[in-house]
Each structure stands twice: as structure tokens, then as C-alpha cells.
Amino acid sequence: MSLLLRRLSELCLSKPASVRSSLLLSNGFSSSSLLQSPPCTIIGARRCGPYFGRLIIFNANEDDSTYLEKKVPMELVASDPMVVYNNATVTIGASHGWVATVNKDDGIMRLRDDLNPAASDTDPRSIRLPPLVTLPHCQTQIITNVAMSCSSPEDEDCVVAVKFLGPQLSFCRPARSHSDWTNIRIENPCFFSSRVMFSKKDDMFRIPGSGGHIIGS
């Protein structure tokens, strides 16, 4: 049990050092959308211009890295997890190849499929999430991470979870009409700086407490 908790802590709380740890939940993602791609891990990108690079992945079904034709913004493969698309939009994380961004002017979150190897690089999908609601004595300006329950937020059953620095945790189903955030205030301070992850095996979101001694579900 202690080994499991330590591994969960490493996955969620380690210092971001690459796109694999800073932008992708659980060091990679699997795509099960209409455009199928095998389970893979993003290695980086080979620069093919001043602002774009061709995506490099490690395919679970192969022994070597694969260089794709798909182009991604080079900002997404920087070592800094807080990168900027433009002067107003900041990247805050990703899950299953969908990159979460926040507009600094209006505070609106969006999901883009930039890091999905099966997605189009010339016509990326963009999903606007509902306006954030800040609980009393909480904040929604600093986001710890974002996680999804499945590979596409366009799935009607997909739940997007956003963990903010502090006690607030928020959920929404972006594919459903009139979707709003369900906000939870966490009482135990050991979870205030933790990240949220989705356990496919248990079909629930989990948060490891500081130090990896307890897990919230």
C-alpha cells in the first residue's frame, strides 16, 4: 500500500520537467475517440518552423519513437508547464491530449485537442467550458491541474475535473446542454496543493494528500 501511495504521489506531485510530466496526466494518454490512435506517450516535437514542431510519440505497440506529420505549437513542448498561446491565453495543463487553457481577460476555460496524435493540426477542436464559479473563501485564479474521465470531452458522459490551489474542486460535463460546474469545498488542508486524477479501474476521481499518506475519492 505504501508503494502504491508513493507512486501516486510521484505521478501527481513531482516537479514538471517535460511535456510528459507537466502537461499529460499519468505520463501519457490513450485515445479512444472516433479517430483511433494506440496508447502512446508524447516525447516532444521536432521544430519545423519558428512556432511549430512535428509531434514525436512513443507508441505502446512499437519499440521506437515515431515522428508524426501532425504539427503542434512549440509552446506546448516547453519545460515550463505555464505557457502562453498568445498574449491572453495561458495553458494550465492537459488530459488525454486535450490542452486546457484559460483566457486571462475573461477567465473562460477552453479545451483544445492539440496534443491528440489523431486530431487535425489545421483545424483543432475547441470546447468552451462554463464560466467558473468561485466558492466563498476560495479562489479560481490559480489552477493546479485538469483531469478528464475519458478521452474526449465531446463524449456526453465525460466529466472534466479542475483542481484549484486551495480547497475548491470543480466538475462539469461539457458535452451536455446547459452544463454547469459542480463545486466542492475540501475541508482537509492536506489536499489544498494536491492534483486530481481519474482512476479508470475504480471509475472515480482521486486526490492524493500531501506526503502521499491518504487519498481522497
Q: Residue 27 domain-assigned?
A: no
Give the separation between CA 34 and CA 155, rounded to whole angstroms: 10
The answer to whether the Cα torsion of 31, 36, 40, 44 is positive or negative is negative
The H or E element spanning position 65 is strand 65-73
From first to last of its 217 residues, what are the pLDDT tens digits of the chain? Answer: 344 334 333 433 333 322 222 233 333 333 334 344 566 677 777 888 777 887 777 776 667 777 777 777 777 765 444 444 555 678 887 888 888 888 878 888 989 888 877 777 778 788 999 999 999 999 998 899 999 999 889 999 999 999 999 999 999 999 988 889 999 999 999 999 999 999 999 999 999 998 878 999 9
Contact (Cβ atoms closer than 8 angstroms) between residue 73 and residue 85 = yes
Q: Residue 112 domain-assigned?
A: yes
Query: Measuring CA to CA, which residue among 88, 101, 90 is closest to residue 129?
Result: 101
Report residue 176 as a C-alpha cell: 451536455
Q: What is the pLDDT of residue 39?
A: 67
Q: What is the pLDDT of residue 193?
A: 94
Q: Residue 100 domain-assigned?
A: yes
Q: What is the pLDDT of residue 182?
A: 95
As beta bridge partners, residue 99 has 94, 112
- The reply to whether the predicted model has a pTM over 0.85 is no
Q: What is the pLDDT of residue 9?
A: 38
Phi and psi angles of residue 128, each rounded to the nearest 5 degrees, phi first: -90, 125
Q: Residue 41 domain-assigned?
A: no
Q: How many domains does the chain have?
A: 1
Q: Residue 47 domain-assigned?
A: no
Q: Residue 185 domain-assigned?
A: yes
Q: What is the pLDDT of residue 169?
A: 97
Q: Which domain holds residue 123?
A: 2-16+79-216
Q: What is the pLDDT of residue 47?
A: 82
Q: What is the pLDDT of residue 77?
A: 64
